[in-house]
Amino acid sequence: MATALSTDLYEITMAAGYVAAGITGRASFELSVRSLPANRSYLIAAGLEPALEYLEDLAFTPAQIKYLRSLPALRNVPSEFFDETLPSLRFTGDVWAMPEGTPVFPHEPLIRVTAPLVEAQLVETTLLSTLSFQTSVASRAARIVDAADGRPVFEFGARRAHGTDAGLFAARGAYVGGCGGTSMVEAGYRYGVPLTGTMAHSWVMCFDTETEAYERYMDLYGSQAVLLIDTYDSATAVDRIARAGLRPGAVRIDSGDLLTESQSVRSRLNAVGLAETSIFVSGDLDETRIAGLVGADAPIDGFGVGNALSTVSDAPALGAVYKLVEIERKGEARPTLKLSHGKTTYPGRKQVWRFANSHGIYTHDVIHLADDEGSGEGHRLLDRVMVDGQRSRIAPMLNSVQTTTRAQLNRLPAALRDMQQGEQYPVHRSQNLERLMTELSDTLRGAGE
Amino acid sequence: MATALSTDLYEITMAAGYVAAGITGRASFELSVRSLPANRSYLIAAGLEPALEYLEDLAFTPAQIKYLRSLPALRNVPSEFFDETLPSLRFTGDVWAMPEGTPVFPHEPLIRVTAPLVEAQLVETTLLSTLSFQTSVASRAARIVDAADGRPVFEFGARRAHGTDAGLFAARGAYVGGCGGTSMVEAGYRYGVPLTGTMAHSWVMCFDTETEAYERYMDLYGSQAVLLIDTYDSATAVDRIARAGLRPGAVRIDSGDLLTESQSVRSRLNAVGLAETSIFVSGDLDETRIAGLVGADAPIDGFGVGNALSTVSDAPALGAVYKLVEIERKGEARPTLKLSHGKTTYPGRKQVWRFANSHGIYTHDVIHLADDEGSGEGHRLLDRVMVDGQRSRIAPMLNSVQTTTRAQLNRLPAALRDMQQGEQYPVHRSQNLERLMTELSDTLRGAGE
């Protein structure tokens, strides 16, 4: 998991620079997504609790500080930084965030951090990687679960994930997005994600006969066993199961054309008196393939999804940014922005207001300055979740987050969940925010003159 | 980093099943890639040392065992498994592997594990995620470094990576593949990857004027400072740098059209007497964009690459598999295979032999059974790297691995490094291996009859 060194070198060089320049006021940064990836019309916020855990635990060890002191890049940094700043550094700030499971759109802050500048700056890298990846996974999981149209989907992608944290976070994000569970044991241990599993081809290959492999597995796991039937030949495997008098809860098919394979396996199971045995499939599945199988009425009872979830294969990087929006200088809070080509940011601490019609369906959002009141019947999306570096409310159980996700998805306009259409949800900015942007842009283009 | 629970549930259910069924002989698994991702004509092996570190440290804690015992899925597992097998479980096997930095092709084992079945099975998930991801990153880094044609490339993608391990592994893999360094501090601390960094827009935004921001940074970092010039307007920023009498080692441009921006910044720098100041660029770069900039003679001295490396954005999942190839049963080693549609595996422990022409350029590989002698002048690619669970040789320094990578790439046929062509490197299988495959397939189709 993340340590204090899970950061970019420039966060450290800037931190040392802020201290040397005496810029120690509180700063506010907001994390948001610049644009939706292809094939997405909404995102589902996820990853908040692991991010808050990182903030609560942030501290440099003596060995880490010794290493930093040895870096040529930091050779001119005053020793006070290594002797005083870093050893005592903890995250002491406030955090506002969208609850996990909230649908979120570009430019809306998922999280806002207000803390002494050095702290708020240092945590950029890990906040971005933690929140972006889980949000990406939860968002894709929501689409995949929609495509499965009521059949359970399980996340099986740890082996394809980008290392151990990635497998763990993928399992967590997929569960937030609606998956029934994961194969990744650590995600059960650490986050309470329900665990599920079948058997690998190696199990079948270790025994003298396929029949013996199935018998020995069912000795131990009984009817909850999911027998993998495609090691040699699926049809033969079903016959062997029947001939041995086994009644597995399910069989799994992991290769071939899953539509025709599932149809022939279903007929064969029914023919041998195993009509109660379900069919579970896996193998390079994503929302498009699942929608195809479901649309063709494939006799499939559940799906195992790997890299489509654990690497978010169609959109592996979310263009999230963490931008300074306000800085306290000489006792005064000043909104900030940048004007870089195509990467302009809006100044000031913000709050997102969401509005619904009389049926409870969301109609649009408005991004306001945080201290302004939103007009009308909307509600605020960002809650205060951390005060002075401590979580200020009990973390919700992950299964209730999953329930929230489903309830929130049901309030989105139907066109947003249609996988073919790419309808855009309306997100406006308040007049006050637009006015501040205009005023400040004019001033800052002249900065330094 | 990986723990004993960084595995799929079925590895645990199978492990318990092997113990219950008394299948405790030694098994050999091989990890290989099924096919090359699009846009690749070779892969660079990477990730071995972190994988071996995981194997050496593998152990279940009492809390982890208590958790496993509580799982409904394991309720019928005999308590001996929790009381004896898991507490004493360590990895005691032998490992053969391609050295990091070796070019590798589909079907060639990157690593072969021979260990008591339970151990060899349990480590599947983490070996796959550790080796696949770093191999993916190193392979893309090699292409990107080729595209930059001598200009240094730095990996800056930790914030886009899929969590902390992913950022760390991306930095390591990118360095193996030829990058000059990384921004990810933990990768310097843990693996000795050279660190590099510039400044963020937030640095510029925190000061009253852009000029003051640059002056304060150079106070601390002198001419090694890389000043980010696109927060407000690049041309104005260069003028401010000159007017303040600053002489930064480099400036960075992070937005806009990098060709025209770099050209106008270069002229402006030269015009104000800063001809020695280099130009460094970043912002959604990959091998195609870099090749375009280099081809257009853009006055760029170095590249920072983010998600193209840290998420391997064009091929985020490598189709690697870890397959049982031999199992000891009743005192006898038996080769194994699976016949699943499109996912057939070859039986037996293997060794890869690589052959070169008289100029030292590699011509083809032959996959032999491990105990067979390769014919002719080829050399073996898999070395023994672990004996009885302990590393059997000193791990090479990572900078020497990078040197190996470059030297190996220079021995590949030139067409393989041409980014447009997709030439295929010849990989053959020995007659003995093909013969074993044929014999065993016939036998196994009848398994269980």
The residue that leads in pLDDT, B68 or B205, is: B68
Decide if B164 and A133 are in contact by the 8 Å CB cutoff.
Answer: no
- DSSP 3-state assignment of B309? helix
Number of Cα atoms under 13 Å in the Cβ half of residue B121:
30
A75 part of contact set with chain B, CB < 8 Å: no
pLDDT bracket for residue B367 (50, 70, 90): very high
Decide if B206 and A317 are in contact by the 8 Å CB cutoff.
Answer: no
Provide the 10 A C-beta neighbour count for residue B53. Answer: 15
Decide if A158 and B7 are in contact by the 8 Å CB cutoff.
Answer: yes
A-facing residues of B in 412-441 (CB < 8 A) are: none
Interface predicted TM-score (ipTM) of this complex, two decimals: 0.96
Residues 6+ apart with CB under 8 A from B150: none
B69 in Cβ contact with B356 (< 8 Å): no
Given a cut of 90, whether residue B102 has pLDDT beyond it is yes
Q: How far is B307 from chain A (nearest CA, A)?
A: 6
A365 part of contact set with chain B, CB < 8 Å: no
How would you classify the pairing of strands B278-282 and B302-305? Answer: parallel
Going by C-alpha positions, the residue among A334, A270, A321, A326 that lies closest to residue A299 is: A270
Packing angle, helices B164-176 and A124-148, rounded to 10: 110
| Nearest residue in chain B measured CA to CA from A326 | B206
Find chain B residues with C-beta within 8 A of A130's C-beta.
163-164
Q: Which amino acid is at B372?
A: D
Task: Choose the weakest-confidence range: A29-43, A273-287, A333-347.
Answer: A333-347
Compute the distance between CA of residue A26 and CA of residue A32 in angstroms, rounded to an integer: 20
Given a cut of 90, whether residue A6 has pLDDT beyond it is yes
Of B160, B163, B254, the CB nearest to A169: B163
CATH number of A140-310: 3.20.20.70
pLDDT bracket for residue A176 (50, 70, 90): very high
Decide if A10 and B323 are in contact by the 8 Å CB cutoff.
Answer: no
Question: Percent of chain B scored above 90 by pLDDT?
Answer: 89
Across the range B378-400, mean pLDDT stands at: 96
As its CATH architecture, domain B21-57+93-127+321-445 has Alpha-Beta Barrel (3.20)
Q: Which amino acid is at A349?
A: R
Q: Which of B131, B185, B329 to mutate to test the interface with A (most CBs of A within 10 A)?
A: B185
Of A8, A73, A195, the CB nearest to B73: A195
| Nearest residue in chain A measured CA to CA from B118 | A203
Find chain B residues with C-beta within 8 A of A311's C-beta.
162, 311, 316-317
Decide if B13 and A199 are in contact by the 8 Å CB cutoff.
Answer: yes
What pLDDT score was predicted for residue A442? 85
pLDDT bracket for residue B449 (50, 70, 90): very low
Separation of first and last alpha carbons in chain A: 45
What pLDDT score was predicted for residue B448? 46
Compute the distance between CA of residue A65 and CA of residue B233 in angstroms, rounded to an integer: 36
E strand or H helix at A68, and its extent? helix A62-69
What pLDDT score was predicted for residue A447? 55
Of A14, A198, A337, the CB nearest to B203: A14
Q: Which of B220, B281, B310 to mutate to test the interface with A (most CBs of A within 10 A)?
A: B220
Decide if B206 and A254 are in contact by the 8 Å CB cutoff.
Answer: no
How would you classify the pairing of strands A26-33 and A111-116? Answer: antiparallel
Compute the distance between CA of residue A232 and CA of residue B69 in angstroms, rounded to an integer: 33
- DSSP 3-state assignment of A141? helix
**Helices and strands (DSSP H and E) totals, chain B:** 18, 19
Give, in order, the Cα–Cα distances in Å from A87 to each of A68, A79, B8, B322. 12, 12, 38, 44
Compute the distance between CA of residue A336 and CA of residue A323 in angstroms, rounded to an integer: 9
DSSP one-letter string for A203-242: HHHHSSSHHHHHHHHHHHHGGG-EEE--SS-HHHHHHHHH
A163 part of contact set with chain B, CB < 8 Å: yes
Q: Which of B55, B121, B206 to mutate to test the interface with A (most CBs of A within 10 A)?
A: B206
Decide if B341 and A256 are in contact by the 8 Å CB cutoff.
Answer: yes
What pLDDT score was predicted for residue A165? 94
Q: How far is CA A188 from the centre of its chain?
A: 16
Of A169, A324, A342, the CB nearest to B162: A169
Given a cut of 90, whether residue B6 has pLDDT beyond it is yes
What's phi and psi for B119, nearest 5 deg?
-65, -45
| Nearest residue in chain B measured CA to CA from A200 | B10
Going by C-alpha positions, the residue among A136, A116, A111, A134 that lies closest to residue A383 is: A111
Across the range A117-146, mean pLDDT stands at: 98
Going by C-alpha positions, the residue among A103, A68, A93 that lies closest to residue A412 is: A103
Given a cut of 80, whether residue B374 has pLDDT beyond it is no
Kindly compute the dihedral angle of the four CA atoms of residues B213, B214, B219, B222, in this order, to the nearest 10 degrees. 150
CATH number of B198-282: 3.20.20.70
B192 part of contact set with chain A, CB < 8 Å: no
A197 part of contact set with chain B, CB < 8 Å: yes
Of B205, B317, B329, the CB nearest to A324: B205
Average pLDDT across chain A, whole number: 95
Structural domain boundaries in chain B? 21-57+93-127+321-445, 198-282
Reported as a single tens digit per residue, the pLDDT across A202-256 is 999 999 899 999 999 999 999 999 999 999 899 999 999 999 999 999 999 999 9
Kindly compute the dihedral angle of the four CA atoms of residues A381, A386, A392, A394, in this order, to the nearest 10 degrees. 70
Domain A9-122+318-445 has CATH 3.20.140.10: yes
Given a cut of 50, whether residue A57 has pLDDT beyond it is yes
Compute the distance between CA of residue A303 and CA of residue A144 in angstroms, rounded to an integer: 10
Decide if A231 and B340 are in contact by the 8 Å CB cutoff.
Answer: yes
Reported as a single tens digit per residue, the pLDDT across A376-386 is 789 999 999 99
Residues 6+ apart with CB under 8 A from B434: none
Provide the 10 A C-beta neighbour count for residue B63. Answer: 10
Question: Percent of chain A scored above 70 by pLDDT?
Answer: 99
What pLDDT score was predicted for residue A449? 45
Locate A115 and state its tokens.
Answer: 């803390």
- Give me the residue label for tokens 């997005």: A177
Q: How far is A332 from chain B (nearest CA, A)?
A: 12
Radius of gyration of chain B (CA): 26
pLDDT bracket for residue B8 (50, 70, 90): very high
Given a cut of 80, whether residue A304 has pLDDT beyond it is yes
pLDDT bracket for residue B331 (50, 70, 90): confident
Of B73, B158, B337, the CB nearest to A224: B73
Average pLDDT across chain B, whole number: 95
Across the range B148-167, mean pLDDT stands at: 97
Number of Cα atoms under 13 Å in the Cβ half of residue A338:
25
Find chain B residues with C-beta within 8 A of A16's C-beta.
220
Locate B186 and state its tokens.
Answer: 């933990």
What pLDDT score was predicted for residue B431? 95
E strand or H helix at A265, and its extent? helix A258-271
